[in-house]
Amino acid sequence: MNPVGGGFAMSKYEDNSNSRLRIGILASGTGSNFDAIAEAIDSGRVDADISVLLCNRPEAKVLDKAKARGVCVEILRHGDFDTRESFDAALADILDHAEVGLVVLAGFDRIISATLLRRFPNRVINIHPALLPAFKGTDAQGQAAAYGVAIAGATVHFVDEDVDHGAIIIQAAVPVAPGEAANSVRQRILAQEHRIYPYAVQLFAEGRLSIVGRKVIVKGRKSPGDEAVISPPLPD
Ligand code: GAR
């Protein structure tokens, strides 16, 4: 078993430094997941600090949220770079400089290449608004609504070189009403995202995540249902 935090990723328990986990958040949009993580840190539910918010879109609302919280912000327009690799190398340089131990993708709309992943092996996580492996790619909630699923959800996973593919840390499910509009499904999933993403960061910070094959083992988990996130009932 490979503890994520030992041979692969850093955590305060595995590297014996007792230092708080420093995270770098990459986002492109509204930033509600950024806010959920920041709020969880402020309330003591997550033992980490946000060292930097990296954003590729100067108009993104997440920038205001980060500035309002006094988080260091770096804007890097992907269009200013010739290749995905050169963009990712620049991102990795900033993350390195900020001494980040975990890279958190929170609505980041660029595919992460091996250039960045190699510099942060097993230290990049993502949230995807679907129950992977279903509905990979863009507009997962719209895909789920159009497909007519009865259950949708969100997934936090480690990032590997294939899109929406890496080992799954936690998932949350929500019911979908027959004929329900994509936006309504989107909001219900988002509420679960805001619960499970900070929780996943905290599991990493505590050094409790190990990867075995493509499975994530959560140390100290007492029973399979112990840490399940149960979705709220459908509104009338
Ligand atoms: C979230 O729903 C997140 O799951 C999704 O983008 C949204 C960002 O919202 N990410 C993806 O679709 C990645 N494939 P936010 O900016 O309010 O956190």
Q: Structural domains in the chain?
A: 20-213 (3.40.50.170)
The pTM (predicted TM-score) of the whole model is 0.91
Question: Does ligand 1 come within 6 angstroms of the Cβ of 128?
Answer: yes
Tokens of 103: 């890279």
* Active-site residue flag, 78: no
Nearest-CA residue for ligand 1 atom 1 is: 107
Residue 106 CB–ligand 1 contact under 6 Å: yes
Q: Write down the pLDDT at residue 230.
A: 53
List the beta strands (DSSP E) in the chain.
2-3, 21-27, 48-55, 73-75, 102-105, 124-128, 151-158, 168-175, 209-212, 215-218
- Whole-number Å distance, alpha carbon 18 to ligand 1 midpoint, is 32
CA dist 153 and 192 (Å) reads 8
> Encoding tokens for residue 213?
């094959």
Confidence at residue 223, expressed as pLDDT on a 0 to 100 scale:
59
- Phi and psi, residue 141, nearest 5°: -70, -40
Radius of gyration of the chain (CA): 17
Quick one: the chain helix, strand, coil %, rounded to 5?
30, 25, 45
CA of 16 to the centre of ligand 1 (A): 33
Catalytic residue among 128, 157, 165, 194: 128
Residue of 128, 136, 174, 197 best suited for mutating to test ligand 1, as the one with most atoms within 8 Å of CB: 128
Strands of 73-75's sheet in order across: 2-3, 209-212, 215-218, 168-175, 151-158, 124-128, 102-105, 21-27, 48-55, 73-75
The reported pLDDT for the residue numbered 130 is 98
pLDDT, residue 225, reads 54
**What are the angstrom distances between the C-alpha of 187 and each of 111, 131, 192?**
24, 15, 9
Q: Which residues pair with 65 in a beta bridge?
A: none
pLDDT value for 18: 67
User: What's the number of CA atoms in the CB half-sphere (13 Å) around residue 93?
Assistant: 8
Give the whole-angstrom CA distance, residue 38 versus residue 18.
Answer: 21
Query: What is the pLDDT at residue 107?
Result: 98
Give the model's pLDDT for residue 228.
56
What pLDDT score was predicted for residue 2? 47
In angstroms, what is the span from residue 153 Cα to ligand 1's centroid? 12
Ligand 1 neighbourhood includes 125 CB (under 6 angstroms):
no
Residue 52, strand partner residues: 24
Q: What pLDDT is attached to residue 220?
A: 87
Atom 8, ligand 1: which residue's CA is nearest? 107
Digitized pLDDT (tens) for each residue of the chain, 236 residues in all: 444 543 344 444 345 456 899 999 999 999 999 999 999 999 999 999 999 999 999 999 999 999 999 999 999 999 999 999 999 999 999 999 999 999 999 999 999 999 999 999 999 999 999 999 999 999 999 999 999 999 999 999 999 999 999 999 999 999 999 999 999 999 999 999 999 999 999 999 999 999 999 999 999 876 555 555 555 444 44
Nearest-atom number in ligand 1 for the CA of 164 is 14
**pLDDT given for residue 221 in this prediction:** 74
Q: How far is CA 29 from the centre of its chain?
A: 14
Alpha-helical runs (H) found in 133-227: 140-147, 182-205
pLDDT confidence of residue 229: 52
